[in-house]
Structure 1
């Protein structure tokens, strides 16, 4: 089976960029479109005010979808370097699992790629992790990339 559309989640962390690079390499090998996805949650007004006071005219960098869009731009660089032939960006407000599963459906993805971060942590085992929840809810293939040592 050749993948036509691959969705990969990123939060702008170095470990998520390893998942992006793996997904981009796979997209390059199959000629698939790569969708870089990032979920974000709205900042509380109190936190937004504190950031605005601290950052002044740069406060736009921490409000709304700007941090997610920054993460996506950085992820695009990794995807281009790995040879992805076609790249789309998607920043959406919501819980990471909900956003990834929703975007995979909306883009009719054949494959959803996430990093393993959280799978081996105590919190992940007790409360559930993004990779575990995505693998249970997605209606397409899921690839969990080893992006952390798990120690």
Structure 2
């Protein structure tokens, strides 16, 4: 089914819920896990170290700077990911319609399936 699962996290408490769901799924289907944080590299190291504790085995970790949706999609394409897991935080309100949100942009442009975890 899924061989490579990308789990994106911003380090928030709600994003950790998405990490746990994605890690559980990866464990159940015996998929490799790629943890992605887009933002400050120093913070990213800490965020990914915490997220890695929820994942079975040794996940690949990636910290990038730039637009979160673009970078998540870039990793998904470069690593031939089968599934992207993101939280739904930020998908409500007028801002979503004006600017879009990371989960919204990822789901519309992903090269694979996207699991949007209800975290709020």
Give the TM-score of the pair, scaled to structure 2.
0.94
Asked whether the equivalents of residues 31 and 85 of structure 1 are also in contact (C-alpha less than 8 Å), the reply is no
Instruction: Please list every run of 5 or more consecutive structure 1 residues that lacks an aligned counterpart in the other structure.
Output: 41-63
- Tell me how far apart the structure 2 counterparts of residues 108 and 86 of structure 1 sit (CA, whole Å): 18
2:47 aligned with 1:71, yes or no?
Answer: yes
2:90 aligned with 1:124, yes or no?
Answer: no
Q: Residue 24 of structure 1: CA displacement?
A: 0.3
Aligned to 1:54: none
- Can you list the C-alpha shifts for 1:109-146, whole angstroms capped at 9, x where unaligned? 00001000111133123210111100011111101000
Larger Rg: 1
SS in 1 for 2:89: coil
Instruction: Please list every run of 5 or more consecutive structure 2 residues that lacks an aligned counterpart in the other structure.
Output: none
2:107 aligned with 1:135, yes or no?
Answer: yes
Higher helix share: 1
Q: Residue 86 of structure 1: CA displacement?
A: 4.0
**Residues 30-49 of structure 1 aligned to structure 2 (within 5 Å):** 30-40=29-39
- Tell me how far apart the structure 1 counterparts of residues 52 and 58 of structure 2 sit (CA, whole Å): 10
Pairing partner for 2:61 from 64, 71, 89 = 89
- Tell me how far apart the structure 2 counterparts of residues 78 and 124 of structure 1 sit (CA, whole Å): 29
* Aligned residue pair count: 120
- Tell me how far apart the structure 1 counterparts of residues 47 and 80 of structure 2 sit (CA, whole Å): 23
